[in-house]
Amino acid sequence: MTDEIINTKRREFLGASALFISGAMLGVSTMATTKAVAADYKQNPFTLVYDGAITRNEPGKVNIHPVKYKLNGLDIVANVYTPAGYDPRKKYPAIVLAHPNGGVKEQTTGLYAQRLAERGFITITADAAYQGGSGGAPRSVDKPQYRIEDIHGMADFISGFPGVDTARLGLFGICGGGGYSLAAAKTDKRFKSVATLSMFNSGRVRRNGFQDSQMDSIQKRLQQAPAARAQEAAGGEVLYAGDANLTDAQIDALPFDLYRQGYHYYWRTNSHPGSTFKYTMSSLMDLMRWDATDEIELIDVPLLMIAGSDADTLYMTEDAFPKATGTKDKELFKIEGAKHIETYWVPEYVQSALDKLTPFFNRTLV
């Protein structure tokens, strides 16, 4: 493949996935990508792809319970984790976990769900509707209203799970799931506290470009979304953004840590067949008019926002935090030295996050 063709494919991918990076930046090489040892979903009976994942349920230990339920007529698949010594006759605090954009329950939300269950919480994480193992067509629709409804649906289901104390329900979202968790918590007062990790404001990035780099082309890019919707409505081909097949060299040449490390995580070390970067182009009609910080002052419960100090997405957390004026019980915690994707799996950074999450939920879910 010639350099010209490679560069063309890079530009097509970056534009379609609404990263909106200029062609001149594509040759920039920044710090090396942190890589993990690859996990094989086929080697785990629950297809989990994180380090230390449960391989079998044993009495007296943390157990995993694959479940399925209906949400607005769609089949939703989820995993519920129960603490060691779980007794359905007792009452436990519970935490709903919302996965990153393009992610599935077997990846980082599964890791955090298991670790939080080890600390005494019942946890649930589900594949978003139209994504992963959950139902819905066309596939890979990524609309904010659906992702927010997914969170409400998890709360519905876990509230009826044996042993769950509905008065002690918390919410934890990672990456895009963090932005959608902020939105869900504005009006779903079942959640007594909310936490985010490496929060990603999907609407802002799709609208303004990553790090607000393409604000001058918003109107031009907006034309793509209704055109794609019109084509769908007429029975034509469903158009997708964000889909690409990059080599390791191409991935390492991407200019932002988020996407460079994200590709290694999702396509190499922690890949899962249900996980994909692509989403329907028509979803941009909804994404580009939405923002995770709209009406954020409606959150009146304790709020914990965690992000890596070296994450190139940190600006989204730092922008959202001061706008959450409806609660005085709030904290922004930076994991020293961590980049965005590294908070998903690097043991020391995961431990740092858990060291904040555990006392936060123990204090607020009482």
**What are the residue ranges in the chain where pLDDT is below 70?**
1-36
pLDDT given at position 150: 98
Q: What is the CATH number of the domain that holds 306?
A: 3.40.50.1820
Return d(Cα 31, Cα 33) in angstroms, integer: 7
Helix (H, G, I), strand (E, B) or coil at 193: strand
Helix (H, G, I), strand (E, B) or coil at 171: strand
pLDDT given at position 37: 74
pLDDT tens digits for range 232-248: 999 999 999 987 788 99
Return d(Cα 196, Cα 173) in angstroms, integer: 5
What lies within 8 Å, CB to CB, of 51 at 6+ separation is 36, 39, 111, 345, 347
Q: What is the domain extent for residue 359? A: 3-364
**Helices 144-159 & 176-187 angle (0-180, nearest 10):** 70
pTM, 2 dp: 0.91
Bridge partners, residue 82, by sequence: 63
Q: How far from each other are the two terminal CA atoms of the chain, in whole angstroms? A: 59
Per the structure, how many domains does the chain have? 1
Identify each DSSP E strand in the chain by its residue range.
63-71, 74-82, 92-98, 122-126, 164-174, 191-197, 240-241, 279-280, 303-308, 330-335
pLDDT given at position 35: 55
